[in-house]
């Protein structure tokens, strides 16, 4: 058995989901729930107050989205480890979460075992964006989306004549 438990902050604006997730994680011997937050501003406040090992954050929350809150949080503590939670999946979500500084993205319908695997992976300094996203695929994805964003910028800068 691990001596040190992984300390978690759970941030989600849907109380029923947040409480259910906390209840599920409390049964895990390797995890300790430190705090919970129901919006992005509260996430930042609770993170700075409790200094958890890993944050589980919904992407979409009031006051500050999870993406905005994590971007702000990482300016204060670049070592923060965040896994985003979402009802949606796909390359675009992976890119935006990774771009915001997240080390993981998990779908809200995953199994408890996969959730614990994701938390443990991120705690140990690895990324976890699901079984189908390894380091190579994530790098390719980031390059693809950055190229698309650069092409959009180039189009905007073109000066057309009549």
Comparing C-alpha atoms, which of 7, 40, 8, 14 is closest to residue 108?
A: 14
Residues of 94-113 as b/e, b for ≥16 C-beta within 10 angstroms?
bbbbbebbbbbbbeeeeeee
- What is the model's pLDDT at position 138? 86
Percentage of the chain lying above the pLDDT 90 cut: 72
- pLDDT band of residue 150 (cuts 50, 70, 90) is confident
- What is the model's pLDDT at position 155? 47
**101-124 confidence digits (pLDDT tens):** 999 999 998 999 999 999 999 999
Between 138 and 49, name the one with better pLDDT.
49
Report, as an integer, the average pLDDT of 128-138. Answer: 88
Burial level of 31, CB count in 10 A (0-12/13-18/19+)?
Answer: buried
**38-73 confidence digits (pLDDT tens):** 999 999 999 999 999 999 999 999 999 999 999 999
Statement: residue 83 has pLDDT above 90: yes
- Answer whether 82's CB lies under 8 Å from 123's CB: no
Statement: residue 137 has pLDDT above 70: yes
Give the whole-angstrom CA distance, residue 102 versus residue 142. 13
Whole-model pTM: value is 0.86
Structure tokens at 88: 């949606």
- What is the model's pLDDT at position 162? 61
Q: What are the phi and psi torsion angles at 53 (to 5°)?
A: -75, -40
- What is the model's pLDDT at position 159? 59
Report, as an integer, the average pLDDT of 71-96. Answer: 93
Tell me the pLDDT of the chain averaged across its residues. 90
Statement: residue 156 has pLDDT above 80: no
Name the β-bridge partners of 56: 10, 83
- What is the model's pLDDT at position 1? 47
Residues in CB range of 50: below 8 A, 6 or more apart: 7, 9, 34, 35
């Amino acid at each position: 058995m691990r001596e040190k438990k992984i300390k978690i902050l759970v941030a989600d604006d849907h109380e029923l989901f947040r409480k259910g997730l906390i209840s599920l994680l409390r049964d895990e011997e390797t995890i300790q729930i430190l705090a919970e937050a129901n919006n992005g501003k509260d996430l930042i406040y609770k993170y700075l107050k409790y200094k958890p090992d890993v944050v589980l954050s919904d992407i979409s929350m009031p006051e500050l989205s999870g993406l905005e809150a994590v971007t702000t949080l990482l300016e204060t503590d670049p070592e923060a480890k965040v896994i985003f939670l979402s009802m949606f999946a796909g390359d675009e979500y992976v890119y935006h979460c990774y771009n915001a500084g997240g080390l993981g993205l998990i779908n809200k319908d995953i199994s408890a075992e996969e959730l614990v695997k994701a938390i443990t992976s991120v705690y140990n300094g690895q990324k976890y964006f699901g079984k189908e996203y390894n380091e190579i695929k994530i790098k390719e994805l980031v390059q693809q989306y950055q190229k698309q964003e650069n092409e959009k910028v180039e189009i905007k800068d073109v000066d057309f004549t009549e």
